[in-house]
Chain A
Amino acid sequence: MSGLALIASYPKSGNTWLRAFLASHLHGGQPIDLNGDLVRIRNVTGRSLQDRHAGLEHSDLTPNEVALLRPLSSRRIARQQPGLYKTHDSNLVPPGAREPAIPADAIDRVVYIVRDPRDVAISMAHHFGWSLAASVDRMGDTAFCIGLSSPGLNMNIEQWVSSWSAHVESWLDAGDLHLLPLRYEDLLADPPGHFTQLCRFLGLDDTRHAVSRSLEASSFTALADQEARTGFRERYAASTAPFFRKGGAGGWRGELPPELAERVACTHRRVMARFAYR
């Protein structure tokens, strides 16, 4: 593999599930330790990784400077430390920068996960400790960033996520990428089928036995049980629910007030139609 193989998604769209699966799969389907083994698929925006490749501390830079620096660092990571990484970056050129944070020439291939934005809205609200309305607002905000350090240091650096629709389109319509799009709902409906496809795309063992073993090790119950026992380091401090909360599809029907569901459907109509989110 030359360059970065990315597991990309808007936040709360199933990225951690795929990482858990891959963390197990890379070790022959072994059970995984949530707090130890997920680093096998590191976040490309992890602060120490980025600081090391940039040769300085991002905590001394402004968001504009980080936006200028990131493509340069991405190329260095692709050259010196190629492999599998997760990211929530959009594939857009941030204001003030000249190229996306992860330019196409640093990328080997991309798995892009898309999830019904109404389920994302609920999951984001729980994760960040926001109201549902705030969550829906952020998903429509093209200036939405994560990884901001305030009032203390964030263990990730700044990522420009943009709105849900812009995020999805920025990756899926890029044209210059070797890309595998996956719907979260399809992953849930037929795990063996879609995870086999994932393994094949990433050049990993795609035999039925191997895939089902890793799926078992990363099943929602296995992950949620472990979080209940030992906690999960990546859970956000302000979260109002466990990280592994429900992991289902269509939960919004019971939890999202109709006017908010309507607002999501209205804001993201075009992209939702592409994925048959009705």
Chain B
Amino acid sequence: MSVAPLTDGLLCGWRIRSAIALPELLEWQGDDRPPDLTVRLGDVDEHLPEGRTLSPFLEIDGTGTGLLQVPEVGRFLVRPSGGITIAPQPEASAAEIRLFLLGSVLGLVCHQRALLPLHASSVVIDGGAVAFCGPSGMGKSTLALRFARRGHAVVSDDVCVLDSGGPARVRPSFPRLKLWRDAIEDASLSPEGLERNRRGQEKYHFLEPEAGVRDSLPLRAIFLLRRPERGEVEGIERLSAPLDILAALEAETFRLPVGRALGTEKALFQARTLIASTVPVYQLRRQPDAPPERWLDAIAAIVRG
């Protein structure tokens, strides 16, 4: 396979050298260090010799190496050294390969490096990162899109990586949002020309290429998106009980069992307690199918204090 030389990219502060093009990423402009992450194409065995199954499509071995297998996309071998080998399925599209490289594999890399990945979309508000967490379908990416349309840079979609040590900072990933057709059309945009998340799927990759963020940012606030339960009204409320905040941050940890399997509980606990003691965490209760627009000003006002 002949591959045109690609420039190195910037992913969460890491220098990444990749055999496949990663249009989501900004170009690396930092020092001339060797790459932190290297993506190659090559053969990958079906199992790790000493691996144990952590979830149906993921094995981990004692050295911290992970093997992700997505039946119609391919195998991803992820070494703690930062070496990533991909054996794609012949029919896999480039977008499908990047979807898992910049999603599940990125989460694995974070856990290998004892960094806390939150399952969150995040945008820049008032010079800091504001993260939206919550179950699928609650509108994380949709809120991020609405902020992006108002000129706010997108810091992450899906995987929001916290830096180690204090104060709490976010390592920007890339300005791509995964959006269903209805969310795109509700924002008066068209999915035409956008790459599909998976073949035949009505979910698309929306890229704001000019809007990437290079340097780490202070984490300004976390909003947990929830559906109002019975007796509750829509609204925003700050969580105050430390145990509630920690439980929420644990629930919103991306690929939590991977961190446990790799023995990084201590680092994750420190990252969560740092957030709980220094970053305001709010619950945003709204009906997921209600227009998101009315919340944007309220969110921005709360963040700006």
Contact = CB atoms under 8 A, between A and B. Distances in A.
Chain A directly contacts chain B within the complex, with at least one CB pair under 8 Å: yes
B201 A72 contact: no
Interface string B127-160: 0000000011100000000000000000000000
Interface stretch (A17-25, A87-95, A147-155, A216-224): A147-155
A214 to B, nearest CB: 20
Interface string B90-112: 00000000011001100000000
Interface residues of B, number: 33
A62 B198 contact: yes
Interface stretch (B11-19, B180-188, B207-215): B180-188
Contacts of A61: 70, 198
Interface string A17-39: 00000000000000001011000
A241 interface: no
What class of interface size applies to chain A in its complex with B? 20 to 34
A116 interface: no
Interface in A55-87: 55-57, 59-62, 64-65, 68-69, 72-73, 76
Interface string A148-175: 0111110100000000000000000000
B200 interface: yes
A268 interface: no
A59 B203 contact: yes
Given A149-B180, A153-B136, A62 B201 contact: yes
Interface in B174-224: 180-183, 185, 197-203
Contacts of A55: 54-58, 255, 257-258
B55 A56 contact: yes
B72 A62 contact: yes
Interface of A: 33, 35-36, 47-48, 51, 53-57, 59-62, 64-65, 68-69, 72-73, 76, 149-153, 155, 237
Interface of B: 54-58, 70-72, 99-100, 103-104, 135-137, 180-183, 185, 197-203, 229-230, 255, 257-258, 289
Given A60-B103, A152-B181, A153-B180, 12 more contacts: A47-B135, A53-B55, A54-B55, A54-B56, A55-B57, A55-B257, A59-B197, A60-B100, A60-B197, A149-B201, A149-B203, A155-B137
The 3 closest A-B pairs by CB, nearest first: A55-B55, A72-B56, A152-B182
